[in-house]
Chain A
Amino acid sequence: DQQVKQNSPSLSVQEGRISILNCDYTNSMFDYFLWYKKYPAEGPTFLISISSIKDKNEDGRFTVFLNKSAKHLSLHIVPSQPGDSAVYFCAAMRGTSYGKLTFGQGTILTVHP
């Protein structure tokens, strides 16, 4: 049972434009969501997170939006840069399940110069 889904395996964007990565979840008990960026053979790097009590969190070029009624979150990267090319994972956790993140399958983002 895939509780966190990233339905787009890949996304290609031109440098300077907006990248929008999407994530859906099915478990309504999730109350904390995170986005990670990952390069091959490296560990995921934390990007940004959002608590379920918020609907938006912004950090520099990265903004995460949460729509609880739709059980959907998205990561916006503006402007996109070639160095953003990587695999992006969304992850979710329940407040009572510390330390256990449930990950989506990842989206490969390619930013073309």
Chain B
Amino acid sequence: KAGVTQTPRYLIKTRGQQVTLSCSPISGHRSVSWYQQTPGQGLQFLFEYFSETQRNKGNFPGRFSGRQFSNSRSEMNVSTLELGDSALYLCASSPRLAGTDTQYFGPGTRLTVL
């Protein structure tokens, strides 16, 4: 089975711009979660989608949004970029089975905001 794929792998943007990141989950996985990793804050949960609906949301401003499509692929969008948004953005998928919900991560998208 192919793993979680994320595109693009690297991105450079300037302050004020917006960006869209894409994630394709493992085949058959219906849940997609997004995380932000920074040196200061570590790995922090952004949001989770299941069956095209946002089921969980972390403590991030409204500039961070996402969506999931009927094929379980997901996109996340960050508007009005700030320098502090520079981070590794990770996507994880899971089959969403009750009692066990191991998440498998993609390689991440490295976003640099100048």
Interface residues of A (CB under 8 A from B): 32, 34, 36, 41-46, 49, 51, 89, 91, 93, 95, 97-106
Contacts and interface: CB of A to CB of B under 8 A. Distances in A.
A101 B44 CA distance: 8
B81 interface: no
B108 A102 contact: no
Interface in B65-108: 88, 90-92, 94, 96, 98-108
B92 to A, nearest CB: 8
Given A98-B50, A99-B48, A99-B55, A42 B107 contact: yes
21 contacts: A32-B99, A34-B103, A41-B88, A41-B108, A43-B4, A43-B90, A43-B91, A43-B92, A49-B100, A49-B102, A95-B99, A98-B55, A98-B56, A98-B101, A99-B31, A99-B32, A99-B56, A100-B56, A103-B35, A103-B44, A105-B42
B110 interface: yes
Given A43-B90, A43-B108, A99 B33 contact: yes
Interface of B is mostly: strand
B58 interface: yes
Nearest to B94: A99
Contact of A98 (B6, B35, B96, B110): B96
B101 to A, nearest CB: 6
Interface of B: 4, 6, 31-33, 35, 42-45, 48-50, 55-56, 58, 88, 90-92, 94, 96, 98-108, 110
B45 A100 contact: yes
B56 to A, nearest CB: 5
A65 to B, nearest CB: 18
Of A42, A93, A98, most B-chain CB atoms within 10 Å: A98
A113 to B, nearest CB: 28
Nearest to B48: A99
A34 B43 CA distance: 14
B103 A46 contact: yes
Nearest to A34: B102
Contacts of B98: 95
